[in-house]
Amino acid sequence: MNLQIRRFLIIFFIVIFSGIAGQISASQTAPTFTVKTGTGIFQLEDFRGRVVYVDFWASWCAPCRKSFPWLNEMQQKYADKGLTIIGVNVDKKRSLADSFLKNNPAEFPIVYDPDGELASKYKLVGMPSAYLIDKQGVIQHNHVGFRPSKKMAYEASIQKLLDN
């Protein structure tokens, strides 16, 4: 491998892993979005005053399969306390998402982003990507990937925002 390629790869990995070119970070206002659905208009702004967990996922994402049971559990456990989970699917073909959902049902709203407009707004760097937004619309926590070993920490973040 020549020196120029090595330098490029080193800079690339530094940028990606340092977050310089990465996703939107905590303490920033969450980008709003409006999506047309089969039943009308879905807007993030409609959930102001609630804690919102926005989860970007795709049918090909193995960790997404592991996250859905936990997301369903969190939605059931905390919906009455002010939590709304929103799944944002980024598959280009709706049929792929539908097939995924047959095997991994969602007990929370799903919106579709086949053109990647929402993914671009949130500057996604991996799947799944999750954003925990407080009642004022500010991102308080975010993470890429889903690790079962971190479920307690994810839930503690949700509980903390619900208690405020």
The predicted-structure confidence for 81-103, as pLDDT tens digits, reads as follows 999 999 999 999 999 999 999 99
Q: Which domains does the chain have, with CATH numbers?
A: 24-163 (3.40.30.10)
- Reported as a single tens digit per residue, the pLDDT across 54-73 is 999 999 999 999 999 999 99
Is 63 within 8 Å of 127 (Cβ atoms)?
A: yes
pTM summary value: 0.83
pLDDT tens string 140-159: 999 999 999 999 999 999 99
Q: What is the pLDDT of residues 108-135, one digit of tens each?
A: 999 999 999 999 999 998 999 999 999 9
